[in-house]
Amino acid sequence: MTTQPDADSLLVDRIRRGETQAWDDLIARYEGRLLAFVESRLGRRGPSEDIVQESFLGFLNSLPNYDGRRPLESYLFSICAYKLTDHLRREGRRPAVPLSSASDTSGDWQVSDSARQASSIARSGERKELEIKAITEALAEQIDRWREKAEWTKLMCAELLFVRGWANKDVAEHLDITEQQVANYKFDFIARLRTLVKRQDLSEEVFPELYEDEAES
Amino acid sequence: MPRITQSDLQAYLDEALPPDEMAAIEAELRSRPDLLRQLALINGRRDAGVHSVGEIWRRQRLSCPPRQQLGSHLLGALDEGHAAYIDFHLNVVGCRYCQANLEDLRRQQDETAEMVKTRRTKYFQSTAGHLRKKS
């Protein structure tokens, strides 16, 4: 990950106290990467700078609700992605999706739907966070292990299978390994995650892709 | 365009695919209502609390190299295997956030201090007034 947690959390504390120098520092630290993110999609400097500006405002608006445990860079990118999506919708480039979710990309800077019952949101949210935390820790541990051993092929294989959703055959071809090797890596990886789900007493139903093979057989 | 995977659609909803792939999916969506339905289904699954390993991996940025490593990569200072992995993460996985970080690092070498200062001053002046009100 690309964050400096301690430095960032100190910076956010100072911004919460209203220190303008800290706000200036945050802008200096992050505006370049946010601008590159937006401009790569819009291709125009002026509107891209406007979106970055809106994102900084969105960050200040959401500051009372910002959970300092969340990496600051990822949080800023999420706000920026949301503002960019909104801009693209207004321009007619991005079609609206029916039955839109109370999207995870909108986060805390969106006004929450007062019609939903707070208790049910809090309960399901807590449970969901716990599940995400457990899988995140297991994945991070596995990825660190591959990195330490320089097992780059295994890391690439898992990333193509799960992050990009490629088929075994395409992964094998791209990495110049056999389909059997891909299947073996995948099997081991899924087995580890299943063990974790069981050990932590998480619901199998909320991780359907880990049990697809069982459902098919 | 190549086959659009479920993972691509999940990343599309989060504005997380490389720009050319985002644009390609937008173009497909105009003529393919089935894709719009798939996006709606993904949103429905998210609302129901169903997880995807890839989505967690991507959102938590579990394999993103630290920014300093991207800087070392730019300078050609990493060993071959590590450098090949970062190239893969940037160009095959197409991580938008790491691409943005790398582009920012590249620009730091090209932009004048005056250009950067003008932009940062604009951001600061247009937002600093909100600092105390909201925190």
Number of H helices, E strands in chain A: 9, 0
Which of B36, B43, B52 has its CB closest to that of A95? Answer: B36
Q: What is the distance of C-alpha A54 from the center of its chain?
A: 20
Q: What is the mean pLDDT of residues A161-167?
A: 96
How many Å lie between the alpha carbon of A177 and the closest alpha carbon of chain B?
16
How many whole angstroms separate alpha carbon B126 and alpha carbon B135?
17
Which of A31, A71, A135 has its CB closest to that of B119? Answer: A31
With beta carbons under 8 A apart, name residues in chain A contacting B37: 98
Contact predicate A157/A171, CB 8 Å: yes
Q: What is the mean pLDDT of residues B18-42?
A: 94
Helices (H), chain B: 6-13, 19-31, 33-47, 53-60, 67-74, 80-91, 96-110, 113-127, 131-134
Amino acid at B122: K
Render pLDDT for B96-121 as a digit per residue (tens, 0 to 9). Answer: 999 999 999 999 988 888 888 999 99
| Torsion A71-A72-A73-A74 (CA) sign | positive
With beta carbons under 8 A apart, name residues in chain A contacting B15: 41, 81-82, 84-85, 105
Task: Tell me if residue A87 falls in helix, strand or coil.
Answer: helix
Q: What is the mean pLDDT of chain A?
A: 86
Predicted TM-score (pTM) of the model is 0.87
Minimum Cα–Cα distance from B125: chain A residue: A24
How many Å lie between the alpha carbon of A191 and the closest alpha carbon of chain B?
13
pLDDT band at A105 (very low <50, low <70, confident <90, very high): very low
Contact state of B100 with A33 under an 8 Å Cβ cutoff? yes
DSSP states of A95-138 as a string? PPPSS--S-TTTGGGSPP-TTS-HHHHHHHHHHHHHHHHHHHHH
pLDDT band at A137 (very low <50, low <70, confident <90, very high): very high
Residue B80 has pLDDT above 60, yes or no: yes
Provide φ and ψ at A93, rounded to 5°.
Answer: -80, -30
For helices B19-31 and B33-47, give the axis angle rounded to 10 degrees.
Answer: 110
Helix or strand holding residue A30 (H, E): helix A20-42
Render pLDDT for B32-72 as a digit per residue (tens, 0 to 9). Answer: 999 999 999 999 998 888 999 999 999 999 999 999 999 99
Q: What is the pLDDT of residue B115?
A: 87
Q: What is the pLDDT of residue A113?
A: 38
Residue A27 has pLDDT above 60, yes or no: yes
Q: What is the pLDDT of residue A177?
A: 98
Q: What is the pLDDT of residue A123?
A: 41
Render pLDDT for A77-96 as a digit per residue (tens, 0 to 9). Answer: 999 999 999 999 999 888 88
Contact state of A27 with B123 under an 8 Å Cβ cutoff? yes
Q: Residue A71: left if φ>0, alpha if ψ -120 to 50, beta else—which one?
A: beta
Percent above pLDDT 90 for chain A: 65
On the 0-12 / 13-18 / 19+ scale of CB atoms within 10 A, A16 is: middle
Higher pLDDT, A119 or A168: A168
Q: What is the pLDDT of residue B130?
A: 87
Amino acid at A83: K
Report yes or no for ipTM above 0.90.
Answer: yes
B135 Cβ contact partners less than 8 Å away, ≥ 6 residues apart: A15, A16, A17, A18, A60, A63, A64
Helix or strand holding residue A10 (H, E): helix A5-16
- CB count within 10 Å of CB A184 equals 14
Percent above pLDDT 90 for chain B: 77
Q: What is the pLDDT of residue A118?
A: 40
For helices B6-13 and B19-31, give the axis angle rounded to 10 degrees.
Answer: 100
How many whole angstroms separate alpha carbon A174 and alpha carbon B67?
26
Q: What is the pLDDT of residue B3?
A: 84
Q: What is the pLDDT of residue A2?
A: 43
Percent above pLDDT 70 for chain A: 83
